[in-house]
Amino acid sequence: MPINATHDASIKSWVESANDPATDFPIQNLAMCAFEVSHGGHSHEHIGVLIGDQVLDIGALLEANAFNRQEHEEVAYVLEMMRWDIVASVPGMMTKVREVLQWFLRSDTQMGQQLKRIRQKALIPQSEVKFVPAMAIGNYTDFYASVHHATNVGSMFRPDNPLLPNYKHVPIGYHGRSSSIVASGTEIKRPRGQQSPPEDQPGALPSFGPCKMLDYELEIGAFIAPGNRMGEPIAIKDARAHIAGLCLLNDWSARDIQKWEYQPLGPFLAKNFATTVSLGIVTLDALEPFRARGYERGEGDPTPLEYLRDEDDAKSGGFDIKLEVLLRSREMATRGLPPLRLSLGDFGSMFWSLGQLIAHHTSNGCPLQPGDLIGSGTISGREASSRGCLLELTWQGIGPDKKPLPRKPIQLPTGETRTFLSDGDEIIFRGWCEREGFRRIGFGECRGTIVAAE
């Protein structure tokens, strides 16, 4: 999609909070969301878009016949399905829906009295809404696309050879569990699992109990729009058309459980207990002004194989997204203290682009479906201050004796320290895009609070 009139920074909305320069959700964004609506003792889901500090309830618009059926018949018909994954499955439909909703929300749109009355009835404060994941997620795949994260973690276990030989040739990923994906704000119960025997106790057996090394992972999630038929790969040059939009994603990780179970087949129970996504999906249309060059490979890095190469993807397959992680302990919340920033990074540090991830995922003929979720993997930059998890942030490297140095705990303003997460800790992700000449847009927040294992 080219940059067009919908990206005009001068467009205002009759929703006043959407005109605040600091909002994540101006009229140029219109992030997709879904939420529960209760009627007569039962509940069902509606879809909507985030606008300022409100939700525009598309179900309410349809019930009020707000769309001109002759002019927008196709749009109204698809929206009546009340599922964003169905809307996204129709090629080009996301663009049409965004244009129609922006028209409805513009302050300069001429409307009759009936539509003006519908305006306020279709708005719900975000603070009063019970959100659910914006799409019905059938499948979830998590990748390992940050070379800085892979290098840091590899250094912990293989200091002389941090990156395995395949890393710069093939995007590494694993299949996750869609049933444990939850919306921002959902509490995360500390998982239980098997942990390895103590290294200083020869002959000891593994133990079972609550995770002691619970961590977060800062990621971007990409939702699939139209999918592909089984046996028909998606070419990298076409991958952009198969992405509906992006969200913030926290793939919670039980490091001690993972350490014991991951060999030889990789992550399992250490990852599939919970994954949190932000409330809205920022469409690719809204992100168009913030495209960026892909990762600049260094001298000596291998050229990607042909199915992972595309000139347009190299020039504009990335996104200029700033990413922030904050932590607030239970004690900080009790004292009314603001959350502490743990890291500030950006999505531009990813070695593999989203287009390459999709091309590789389908290269063997694997069919992706509308609503499938693709995780980028932990996003870490070159600087220590941009590392995307506690495993990296508290890492101090290898000492002269070739053994890991003691971890350096995070200091909290209450005097508490953290090496990994404690019960009551709340982790908050924030993401936003800024570029001169365009409205700032954001992803809102991706929040989760740890509660004790039962």
Cα–Cα–Cα angle for 430, 179, 187, nearest 5°? Answer: 50
pLDDT in tens, the chain (454 residues): 689 999 999 999 999 999 999 999 999 999 999 999 887 778 889 999 999 999 999 999 998 888 776 678 889 999 999 999 999 999 999 999 999 999 999 999 888 777 788 888 999 999 999 999 999 999 999 999 999 999 999 999 888 889 999 999 999 999 999 999 999 999 999 999 999 998 888 889 999 999 999 999 999 999 999 999 999 999 999 999 999 999 999 999 999 999 999 989 889 999 999 999 999 999 999 999 999 999 989 889 999 999 999 999 999 999 999 999 999 999 999 999 999 999 999 998 899 999 999 999 999 999 999 999 999 999 999 999 999 999 999 999 888 887 889 999 999 999 999 999 999 999 999 999 999 999 999 999 999 999 999 8
What does DSSP assign to residue 299? T
CATH of domain 140-451: 3.90.850.10
Helix, strand, coil percentages for the chain (3-state, nearest 5): 25, 25, 45
pLDDT reported for residue 70: 63
Evaluate whether 417 touches 409 at the Cβ level (below 8 Å). yes
> Strand pairing partners for 254?
214
**Which of these, 265, 166, 251, 191, lies nearest to 452 by C-alpha position?**
191
| Residue 304 three-state SS | coil
pLDDT reported for residue 228: 97
**Which of these, 136, 140, 174, 147, lies nearest to 374 by C-alpha position?**
140
pLDDT reported for residue 220: 98
pLDDT reported for residue 225: 96
**Which of these, 103, 264, 41, lies nearest to 174 by C-alpha position?**
264
Q: List the structure tokens of 11.
A: 């467009």
Evaluate whether 367 touches 228 at the Cβ level (below 8 Å). yes
Considering Cα of 119, then 430, then 278, then 414, what sign does the dihedral take? negative
**Which of these, 406, 230, 321, 227, lies nearest to 29 by C-alpha position?**
321
Catalytic-residue membership of 149: yes
| DSSP structure string for 185-204 | T--EEPPEEEEPPPTTSTTP
Q: List the structure tokens of 361.
A: 């995922």
Amino acid (1-letter code) at residue 145: A
Q: List the structure tokens of 381.
A: 């930059």
> Strand pairing partners for 38?
43
Q: Where are the domains of the chain?
A: 5-132, 140-451
Q: What residues contact 233, with CB distance under 8 A and at least 6 apart?
A: 307, 359, 362, 363, 364, 365
CATH of domain 5-132: 2.30.30.230
Q: Would you put residue 437 in left (φ > 0), alpha (ψ -120 to 50) or beta?
A: left
**Which of these, 186, 154, 189, 184, lies nearest to 168 by C-alpha position?**
154
**Which of these, 348, 400, 443, lies nearest to 134 by C-alpha position?**
443
> Strand pairing partners for 429?
325, 446
- Separation of alpha carbons 153 and 395, rounded Å: 9
The neighbour count for residue 341, using CB atoms within 10 Å, is 13
Amino acid (1-letter code) at residue 116: K
- Per annotation, catalytic residue among 7, 149, 242, 361: 149
Q: What residues contact 266, with CB distance under 8 A and at least 6 apart?
A: 174
- Separation of alpha carbons 189 and 392, rounded Å: 23
| Residue 215 three-state SS | strand
